[in-house]
Amino acid sequence: MRIKRVLVVAGGTGGHIWPAIAFGSWLRERHSDVDISFVSGSRPLELKIYREVNLDPHIIHLEGSPLGGGLRKMPRRWKQIFKCFHQARDCIEKEAPDVCLMFGGYVSFPALMVSKMMGLRCLIHEQNAVAGRVTRLAALLGVPVASGWDTCHPLKDKSYKYVGVPIRGMQRIPRPIALRRLGISVEAGSKVALVLGGSLGSGSLFEKVIEASKDEYFSGWTFLIIGASSVPQVIGKCILMPHTWDMEALYSVTDVVITRGGASSLTEIKLWKLPCVIIPWRDSSGGHQRANAVAFCRSARGLILDEELVSGGLGRAVESLLNGGSASSDLIVCGTTLDEDLPSVTSKTCCDLWEMLLAL
């Protein structure tokens, strides 16, 4: 099959959007003759991410999950969905793509249904170790599924192909340069803990980490807490920072990462070979954040810590992780550092996705 035009659909959170952008960047570099266009939801965060990399996506105006919301919101939600179907159809008719590649998020639902109705060949990439509702529906409709991890519960092994999660092109830079880019200073010799809350459930995590930073173990440490403040401010050992997309600089100054269980972030951390304490968000759909964390720990240097243990147990957790540690009833320590080269692994993931598109 010859592909000249690709429609990429991704919305909801950065965990869906950044892999889509990463694949688009790879495609433009390796197959410059292929036209690529993007479809997004209408939330400000979604559009901010796309515009950060100078992309102007088509917008489908859908607020929240079309498959959730409860009975009270159902009439309004379905009225909105029908409008979204028309918007998706108009987008497909305008772009006339050969294939549609969906990276999840609620916006993939109308794209999936309209693609099937119009006979447009499509593929869905599931970043999480637990398939979302749209991915499960796509699989039932016979749409091929590419998986970000070697498991994609509850799909059967033969119903998806493991390819990994596309990530942004990055390389390690010297710490002084990275700190200048971030506009912060850290004492010489200080160890740095990078705290990533993700798009969901971050407020409570930040509060607990700030409290935990007072532990004697963290003498000589600095905590960079991303997304905790609209302007940089210092609280004890913690530097609270606004959201920043310069992950290359952040990872380059980091000794250990403390994060939620988002698939895209965990993939980046894994390929950067950074030790990681993972605190899954309990309310994540289908428990996918914990499933992602378990998948991460099978192949990387990771530790899973329950959120209720953060305030009093983070110091012990980090010490256990950095010293090799051992599993206990409240800590799960496993995995080793990887030997893969980051650019080559990222390229292989995108190559595998491209091959799946060509095979449609």
List the pLDDT tens digit at each of the 360 positions of the chain: 899 999 999 999 999 999 999 999 999 999 999 999 999 999 998 999 999 999 999 999 876 665 555 556 666 777 888 899 999 999 999 999 999 999 988 899 999 999 999 999 999 999 999 999 999 999 999 999 999 999 999 999 899 999 999 998 888 999 999 999 999 999 999 999 999 987 655 778 999 999 999 999 999 999 999 999 988 899 999 999 998 889 999 999 999 999 999 999 999 999 999 999 999 999 898 999 999 999 999 989 999 999 999 999 999 999 999 987 543 334 444 443 434 556 667 789 999 999 999 999
CATH of 175-334, picked from 3.40.50.2000, 3.20.20.80, 3.40.1350.10, 3.30.565.60, is 3.40.50.2000
Residue 86: CB partners within 8 Å, gap ≥ 6? none
Asked if residues 212 and 193 have their Cβ atoms less than 8 Å apart, the reply is no
Asked if residues 39 and 9 have their Cβ atoms less than 8 Å apart, the reply is yes
Q: Spelled out in words, what is the top-level CATH class assigned to the domain 5-167+342-358?
A: alpha beta
Instruction: Give the β-pairing of 221-226 and 191-196.
Output: parallel
Give strand ranges (E) for the chain: 5-9, 35-40, 58-59, 99-102, 121-126, 145-147, 161-162, 191-196, 221-226, 233-235, 238-241, 256-259, 276-278, 302-305, 331-334
Rounded CA separation 315/331 (Å):
12
pLDDT tens digits along 299-353: 899 999 999 999 999 999 999 999 875 433 344 444 434 345 566 677 899 999 9
pTM of the model: 0.90
pLDDT tens digits along 89-126: 999 999 999 999 999 888 999 999 999 999 999 999 99
Rounded CA separation 337/125 (Å):
26
What are the start and end residues of each CATH 3.40.50.2000 domain in the chain? 5-167+342-358, 175-334
